[in-house]
Every structure is written in C-alpha cells, then in structure tokens.
Homo-oligomer: A and B are copies of this chain.
Amino acid sequence: MNIRLYNARILTMEEGRDLFRGEIWIKNDRIAYVGAIEEIEEEGPGLPHIKWDYELDCENNLLMPGFKNAHTHSGMTFLRSYADDLPLSEWLTKKVFPYEEKLSTGDIYEFTRLAIMEYVTSGITSIFDMYLSPDAIAEACRDTGMRCVLCGNVNDHTSSPEKMADEYERLNSFNPLITYRLGIHAEYTCSKELIDSVCSVVHRYKAPFYCHLSETRDEVEDCRKRYGLTPARYLDEVGLFEYGGGVFHGVHLTEEEMDILAMRDVSVITNPGSNLKLASGIAPVAKLAEKGINLAIGTDGAASNNALDMFREMYLVSTLSKIRENDAASFDATKVIKMATWGGAQAMGLRDANVLATGKYADIIMIDMHQPNMQPENNIVKNIVYSGSKKNVKMTMIGGKILYAEGRYNIGESPERIYENCNRIAERILA
C-alpha cells in the first residue's frame, strides 16, 4: 500500500523543526517520505514515480504524530461513571476489586475495544495498558489495529512473576503492533518476596521495569512504615530500576526519589485527570523536567478519569502545573505536546513511533484547523494544547491504516455492536 497525504501542514516533533507545509508518503506501515512543499517542487519530475493506492487532500489541516497514552487500564471502561466521587482506597476496595472479580477475558476484550474507539477519537495511536488479562488486550488491539505496549501487572492476588515471564516471551512475538514490558501493580500490592522474585525476572531479561508509584500520600507513608524508605528508594535498592523503565503517577515524589529516577533513566508518566478526580494531588512536572527526567502522559482508566482523552490531559498538565507552582508561566504548551508524543514513545520504548520521519511507523493524526477553537492561528501548538479537543481529530492512522476518520471507525466491528455488548456486560456485572 502506497498512501500520499498532501496539502498538509506538518509538525514532525523532531527537535528544532518548526511546522511547515508539505506531504507525507507512506509505504505499508512506515513513513517513506516527509517533505516540505519547496523540497518536493525542487525535486520535480526527478522523484520516483509512485503508483498511489490512496491520495488524501489534507485541506491545509495539520498532520502530527499520534498521541501516546502512556498509562491506561482500557478494560476499566466497564466502570465508567459507576465508581465516582470516592477516595482512592475506598474506590479500589468497594467499587473496583469486587466487580473486577466478575470480569471474564471476553468481557475485557469487549471493553478494551470500547476504549480503543475512544482512543482513536482523541488522536491516540498507542497505549501502555496494564490490566487483568494481557492476552485479551493484545487480541483487541490486534483486531482493531491499535498499537499497544502491555505492562506486567504482578501483585499478591491476580498475577505472578512466572505468569509475567511467560507473557513477556509470548506476547512480545504475538503481533507487530504489540510489545510487552515487565512490571508490577505497585509496591503496596506486592509482598517483599514477590518483589524480590520480580527483580530476578527483570535481571534475567535485563529489561526496563514499570509500576504505579507515589500516587497517594498514604501509599508513601505506608511504604516508609514498612521499609523505612520511600517507594522509589525502596524499589531502587531492591534493584528493579537497573535497566530503566517508568513509574505511573509520581505525585508525591521526594527530591531524593527524583534524583534516583533521573539517574536510572526512569520516565515519569503523569495522569493529571485521574489524580484530580481521586483527590490524590498534582504531580510536580516542572520539577521533574528540571531534573532531566523523561515525562509522558496517561489517561489512566475510565473508572477514575472518566474520559480517555489526551486533549483533556494535555491541558491539565500545563494548567495544573501553573496552579501548583503558583506561576502562570510554568510548563507551557510546547513542553506538553512533546510529552504527549515523543516523551510517551520514549517511556514506552516505541522509538519508531516518536516523530514523523522516514522509516518511522505511520502513526499519524490529522488535526482539523477549520474549527472555531483553532482560530485565529496566532499559535497552532498553543491552540492544540490550550484550546484543542477531540472534536478536532479528523483522522487517526496507525501503522499506515486509517482507524478513524470524519467520525467513522474502521476497527473490524460496528460501533453499535460494541456499545450493545458493553451495556449488556456492564448490566450483568454491576447488577
């Protein structure tokens, strides 16, 4: 398949490269060429004659790398607007765990498809998904066409180091769209013995490691009581960050923990919407950036957020930093858009999906500039971060396949069928 996207404005997210007018050419699942109009005109008829399978006039809209949702639990869409207005501990023990027990892998497959529909409406082209059944998630992503990094979810109840090692070997070769990374749910859901055996798996594969960390103040205090150490310090002393990785949330990190994460090349994935709604706090993103830590953004699951919308998260990253630091100049849009694309790819190990350039995956979105919230065009990046919405997503392409365009889905199933299935399952589980 040869696809040509022309008459576009392009933001490649390459360091130091401004927005320009031009074209993107795609061969199968990769970008074959990204060029400015002037370059293309200069080359003229010298360019190789390509037979296009599909040519799309972008009507002067913006092409950019798709957003990376670097922390989510897709299957939790079944709890959307059911488990609200509760603090994290009560929310988890009363409204999440009891119902999750009733979920089958088929249920998770279906609710993951629902989440994927929402992702593509919001320009998300890859997800970092930690949930109960990685196989069901992998199948849903393969069947719809979503790029997915699965995250190990070891804890005292629903997974184990052996299961994780098996998933790591199996799922990393399951499908080109899927990779798998080692991880635990969190320090507070794993015994010391369990964490030690996870560590031996990490060292066996010499692989990066991921987990929820420092989401709430209580979690940090409990870890101090248990081990006399903050969570990042404790996990680092065990040896889990030897090969880098990432932590989800990082709301209540100490200065020392930040230094550890920086030294170990561990990314912090912030989830501002979820942290607000559960009243967990506001992550210190400005401080983390100063430390040179790679930052990424996640929606977290629909049970706590409740939307899976990167525009909302991008907006929150910047504006919450301003209120936290009491400084309206804090963390502007250019930093945020980098987190949502390049930073996410870095955190997830998707270095072939970080920018728009020859050889990279064709994970591309088109932002509709012909809408009032994108006008006037004083600053297009600021328009996207401060004023943009999923309504501006005109097209979402993953690996050269258009999954969503002009409000229509191309995910191998009809939307109404997915809604029907999801409502039926939710009624059964939440009855």
Contacts and interface: CB of A to CB of B under 8 A. Distances in A.
Interface in A310-363: 312, 315, 318-320, 322-323, 325-330, 332-333
A389 B307 contact: yes
A376 B425 CA distance: 9
Contacts of A82: 378-379
Which of A85, A388, A418, A426 has the largest count of B CB atoms less than 10 A from its CB?
A: A85
Given A77-B376, A382-B81, A330 B370 contact: no
Interface in A253-292: 273, 275-279, 281-282
A319 B277 contact: yes
Contacts of A118: 372-373
Given A82-B379, A85-B332, A329-B85, A121 B373 contact: yes
A422 interface: yes
A82 B378 CA distance: 6
Given A114-B372, A121-B372, A307-B389, 17 more contacts: A84-B379, A85-B332, A86-B329, A87-B327, A87-B328, A114-B375, A117-B372, A121-B373, A278-B322, A278-B328, A279-B322, A282-B323, A312-B312, A312-B315, A372-B419, A375-B422, A378-B430
Interface in A78-112: 78-82, 84-88, 91
A377 B319 contact: no
Contacts of A328: 85-88, 91, 277-279
Contact of A378 (B80, B327, B332, B415): B80
A308 interface: yes
Contacts of A320: 276
Given A328-B91, A387-B307, A423 B81 contact: no
Contact of A327 (B279, B326, B370): B279
B423 A84 contact: no
A410 interface: no
A323 B324 CA distance: 11
A114 B375 CA distance: 8
B386 A277 contact: yes
